[in-house]
Amino acid sequence: MRYSAISYFGVAALATMQGAQARGDFSSSCTNYFIEGNNFLRATCGNGQGGQVNSALNLNACIGIDPNNLVCRPNGNYAAQGCAGCLIRTGAFMLCSCPGGNKIADLDECVANRGGILACA
């Protein structure tokens, strides 16, 4: 019984850690972020050593489109699928006009800050 309880908590802790790693949460360490040219995220990000780095990321590498929303997807290329007019609305949410209507992406789910450099999560 003792082994089962320890195993359960170990698996639960591992699942929690893996979930945390999946979320990029770039906005917790980056400021002045905005969308440029429909698909580039620009931001000033902390490098983990007390400095700041100006960084840019082509979001086509991180975000795709599904029937209802923009989703985290490697090489999703949402802009080529007809999404345009993208901008940051509230927090780290990006709103785009796409085929079928406006769609939203939570950039904190899809983008990470890796030592001051924006990257797909």
pLDDT in tens, 4-16: 443 333 333 333 3
CB distance 96 to 86 below 8 Å: yes
**What letter does residue 79 receive in the DSSP assignment?**
G
Tell me the whole-structure pTM to 2 decimals.
0.80
Q: Using one digit for the tens of pLDDT, what is the confidence trace for 55-64?
A: 999 999 999 9
Q: Which domains does the chain have, with CATH numbers?
A: 23-120 (2.30.60.10)
Which pLDDT does position 22 carry in this prediction? 56
Encoded tokens for 1? 């019984």
**28-86 residue pLDDT tens:** 999 999 999 999 999 999 999 999 999 999 999 999 999 889 999 999 999 999 999 99
What is the distance between the alpha carbons of residues 10 and 121, in angstroms, rounded to a whole number?
24
In this structure, what are the phi and psi dihedrals at residue 72, rounded to the nearest 5 degrees? -70, 120
Amino acid 5: pLDDT: 40
Determine the Cα–Cα distance for residues 83 and 14; give it in Å rounded to an integer: 37
Residue 105 has pLDDT above 90, yes or no: yes
What span, in angstroms and rounded, lies between the C-alpha atoms of 98 and 21? 29
